[in-house]
C-alpha cells in the first residue's frame, strides 16, 4: 500500500487539534455537503415539475394538430381524417374549429379562444372530459332558466370565475370577423350566439383555464360562418415523446399546403424555459460548492505551513515531489468526498421524504399541483457527485503544488 494516503489521513485527522485549520476544514466539508444536498433535491424538484407539466400537456391537449397554412378553413375533414388514421402511430383523430371571439355574461366581457369540437370523437384525442370539475361534459342543447334551449358551452374554471358564470347560466358569444349588415343605416352587427354553460374544466394549465371555451363543432361552424368547413384535425399518437417525428412524417406525406404541429412545437418556449431553469439553478447552487472549494484551499495552505518541517523530513527520507503533491491532494479530496457523500445521503433522504409524505406543499390556487413533485434521476446524482469531487480536486492543486516545491533543507530549518 502506498504511504501517501496514510500520511494524508493522519494530516486530515490531525487538523482537529488546530482550532483555525480544523474549523476551516469543517466548514469546507459542510459547504460541500449543503451544496450537494441542495443540488440533488432541487434538481429532483425541477425534474418533477418538468414531468408534471409535460404530463399535463400530453394528457390534456392534442398531441398533433393538422391544418392548412395560415389556418385556412377546409371542407370534407372526414377524408383527411381517414388518411391520417392510416398512419399506425396515430390512434385517434377529430376535426375542430378554432377562432377568437368575445364572451359576455351579466355585464362582464372578455376576449377568449373558442374550440369547436365533436364531443364524442374528441374524447379519444383530448382530455377535456376528464377535467370537467363542475357540471357535466356535454355540448348538445341545454335549457336555460326560462326553459329555452341553446347550445352548450364548457368554460375554463378561471374564465368562468372572472365572468361570474356557473353551470346553467346563459352566456353570449360574439363574432366580429364577418359581421352582418343590419340595423339602422345598414350598420355592422356581430353574430351573437347565446349558450348555456354545461360545465367548467380545470386543466392544471392556467393559460388554458383562463382563455378557452369549448362548444360543439356545428355551433362553432354556424357562429363563424364556416358552413361545413373546419380549421383542422387534432390527433393522438401512441408515444407522445415521438410526436415530433410523427408530425414530420404526416406533413411530408400530406404535402403542401398541409402542416402538422405537435405539442412540443406548440409549447417550445415553455419547454426551453424549463431546460434553461435547470441549468441556471444548477449553476447558482454550484456556487456553494465553489465557495467550499476555496475554503479547502485555505485549509490546506494552513496545513502546509504547519507541516513544513514534516514535508522537509519526508523529502530528506526520499519522498518525491509527486508523492508530496499526492499527499495534499488526497487530504483535500478527503474533505470533498466526506462532504459529497454526506450531502448525497441527505439529498436522497429528503427526496424520499418528499415523495412519500409530501412534506413541502404548494398553494393550489397558484400552482397546478398541491404537493411539490420530485423525480430523482441517477444521472443527476452521479453528475453532482462527479462535479463536486472534480471541483474539490482542482482546489487542492495550488496548496499541494506549494508543498511539493518546498526545498528539503529550507523546510527542515523552518521554525
Q: What 3 state SS string does the chain have?
A: CCHHHHHHHHHHHHHHHCHHHHHHHHHHHHHHHHHHHHHHHHHHHHHHHHHHHHHHHHHHCCCEEEEEHHHCCECCHHHHHHHHCCCCCEEEEEEEEEEEEEEEECCEEEEEEEEEECHHHHHCCCCHHHHEEEECCCCCEEECCCCCEEEEEEEEHHHHHHHCCCCCCEEEEEEEEEEEECCHHHCEEEEEEEEEEEEEECCCCHHHHCCEEEEEHHHHHHHCCCCCCECEEEEEECCHHHHHHHHHHHHHHHCCCEEEEEHHHHCHHHHHHHHHHHHHHHHHHHHHHHHHHHHHHHHHHHHHHHCHHHHHHHHHCCCCHHHHHHHHHHHHHHHHHHHHHHHHHHHHHHHHHHHHHCCCECCCCCCCCCECCCCCCHHHHHHHHHHHHHHHHHHCHHHHHHHHCCCHHHHHCCC
Residues 242, 311 within the same domain: no
Residues 49, 83 within the same domain: no
Residue 325 within any structural domain of the chain: yes
Structural domain span for residue 238: 73-256
Residues 364, 307 within the same domain: yes
- What's the confidence (pLDDT) of residue 235? 96
Q: Specify the pTM.
A: 0.73
Residues 241, 334 within the same domain: no
> Among 256, 288, 323, which residue terminates a domain?
256
> Among 256, 287, 322, which residue terminates a domain?
256
Query: Is residue 365 scored above 70 in pLDDT?
Result: no
Give the residue with greater pLDDT, 274 vs 40.
40
138 in the Ramachandran plot: left (φ > 0), alpha (ψ -120 to 50) or beta? beta
Residue 184 within any structural domain of the chain: yes
b (16+ CB within 10 A) / e for 260-283: bbbbbeebeebbeebeeebeebbe
Give every CB contact of residue 247 below 8 A, 6+ residues apart in sequence: 64, 260, 261, 262, 265
- What's the confidence (pLDDT) of residue 301? 82
Residue 403 within any structural domain of the chain: yes
The mean predicted confidence, pLDDT, of the chain is 87
Residue 62 within any structural domain of the chain: no
Question: How many alpha carbons fall within 13 Å on the CB side of residue 255?
Answer: 0
pLDDT above 70 covers what percent of the chain?
92
Residues 298, 209 within the same domain: no
Residues 12, 89 within the same domain: no
Residues 38, 114 within the same domain: no
Residue 278 within any structural domain of the chain: yes
- What's the confidence (pLDDT) of residue 367? 65
Give the residue with greater pLDDT, 318 vs 204.
318
8 Å CB contact between 372 and 45: yes
Residue 11 within any structural domain of the chain: yes
Q: Which residues share a beta bridge with 149?
A: 143
Q: What is the mean pLDDT of residues 25-46?
A: 90
Count of the separate structural domains present in the chain: 2
What do you get for the CA distance between the two ends of the chain, in Å? Answer: 32
Residue 334 within any structural domain of the chain: yes
Closest-CA residue to 95 (of 257, 222, 235, 215): 235
Residues 34, 82 within the same domain: no
- What's the confidence (pLDDT) of residue 271? 83
- What's the confidence (pLDDT) of residue 20? 62
Backbone angles phi, psi at 155, to 5 degrees: -105, 150
pLDDT above 90 covers what percent of the chain?
48
Residues 84, 215 within the same domain: yes
Distance CA 250, CA 246 (A): 6
Residue 325: how many other CB atoms lie within 10 Å: 19
Indicate the pLDDT class of residue 283, thresholds 50, 70 and 90: confident
Indicate the pLDDT class of residue 341, thresholds 50, 70 and 90: very high
Give the residue with greater pLDDT, 10 vs 318.
318
- What's the confidence (pLDDT) of residue 368? 61
Q: State pLDDT tens for residues 10-33.
A: 777 666 566 566 677 788 888 899
Residue 64 within any structural domain of the chain: no
Residues 191, 297 within the same domain: no
Give the residue with greater pLDDT, 362 vs 186.
362
8 Å CB contact between 206 and 212: no
Q: Any idea of the CA torsion for 97, 99, 105, 110, to the nearest 10 degrees?
A: 150
Residues 247, 101 within the same domain: yes
Angle value at C-alpha 42, between 52 and 346, nearest 5 degrees = 125
Which triple of cell numbers denotes residue 294? 476555496
Q: Is the peptide bond before 257 cis (omega within 30 degrees of 0)?
A: yes
> Among 256, 278, 310, which residue terminates a domain?
256
Residues 85, 215 within the same domain: yes
Amino acid at each position: 500500500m502506498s504511504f501517501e494516503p496514510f500520511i494524508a489521513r493522519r494530516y486530515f485527522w490531525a487538523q482537529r487539534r488546530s482550532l483555525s485549520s480544523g474549523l476551516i476544514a469543517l466548514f469546507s466539508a459542510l459547504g460541500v455537503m449543503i451544496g450537494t444536498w441542495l443540488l440533488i433535491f432541487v434538481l429532483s424538484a425541477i425534474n418533477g415539475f418538468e414531468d408534471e407539466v409535460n404530463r399535463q400537456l400530453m394528457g390534456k391537449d392534442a398531441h398533433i394538430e393538422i391544418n392548412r397554412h395560415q389556418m385556412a378553413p377546409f371542407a370534407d375533414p372526414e377524408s383527411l381524417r381517414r388518411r391520417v388514421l392510416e398512419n399506425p402511430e396515430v390512434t385517434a383523430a377529430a376535426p375542430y374549429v378554432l377562432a377568437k371571439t368575445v364572451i359576455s355574461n351579466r355585464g362582464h366581457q372578455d376576449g377568449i379562444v373558442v374550440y369547436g369540437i365533436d364531443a364524442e370523437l374528441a374524447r379519444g384525442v383530448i382530455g377535456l372530459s376528464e377535467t370537467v370539475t363542475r357540471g357535466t361534459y356535454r355540448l348538445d342543447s341545454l335549457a336555460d332558466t326560462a326553459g329555452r334551449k341553446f347550445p352548450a358551452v364548457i368554460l375554463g374554471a378561471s374564465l368562468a370565475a372572472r365572468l361570474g358564470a356557473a353551470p346553467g347560466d346563459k352566456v353570449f358569444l360574439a363574432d366580429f370577423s364577418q359581421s352582418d349588415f343590419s340595423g339602422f343605416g345598414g350598420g355592422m352587427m356581430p353574430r351573437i350566439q347565446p349558450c348555456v354553460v354545461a360545465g367548467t374544466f380545470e386543466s392544471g394549465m392556467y393559460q388554458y383555464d383562463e382563455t378557452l371555451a369549448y362548444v360543439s363543432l356545428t355551433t362553432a361552424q354556424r357562429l363563424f360562418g364556416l358552413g361545413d368547413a373546419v380549421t383542422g384535425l387534432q390527433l393522438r399518437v401512441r408515444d407522445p415523446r415521438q410526436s415530433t417525428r410523427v408530425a414530420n412524417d404526416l406533413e411530408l406525406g400530406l404535402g403542401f399546403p398541409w402542416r402538422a404541429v405537435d405539442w412540443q412545437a406548440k409549447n417550445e418556449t415553455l419547454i426551453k424555459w424549463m431546460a434553461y431553469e435547470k441549468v441556471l439553478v444548477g449553476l447558482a447552487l454550484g456556487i456553494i460548492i465553489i465557495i467550499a472549494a476555496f475554503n479547502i484551499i485555505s485549509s490546506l495552505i494552513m496545513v502546509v505551513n504547519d507541516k513544513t518541517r514534516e514535508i522537509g523530513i519526508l523529502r530528506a527520507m526520499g519522498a518525491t515531489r509527486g508523492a508530496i503533491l499526492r499527499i495534499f491532494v488526497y487530504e483535500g479530496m478527503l474533505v470533498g468526498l466526506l462532504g459529497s457523500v454526506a450531502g448525497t445521503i441527505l439529498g436522497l433522504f429528503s427526496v424520499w421524504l418528499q415523495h412519500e409524505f409530501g412534506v413541502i406543499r404548494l398553494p393550489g390556487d397558484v400552482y397546478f399541483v398541491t404537493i411539490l413533485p420530485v423525480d430523482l434521476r441517477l444521472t443527476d446524482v452521479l453528475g453532482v457527485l462527479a462535479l463536486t469531487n472534480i471541483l474539490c480536486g482542482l482546489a487542492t492543486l495550488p496548496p499541494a503544488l506549494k508543498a511539493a516545491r518546498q526545498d528539503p533543507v529550507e523546510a527542515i530549518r523552518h521554525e
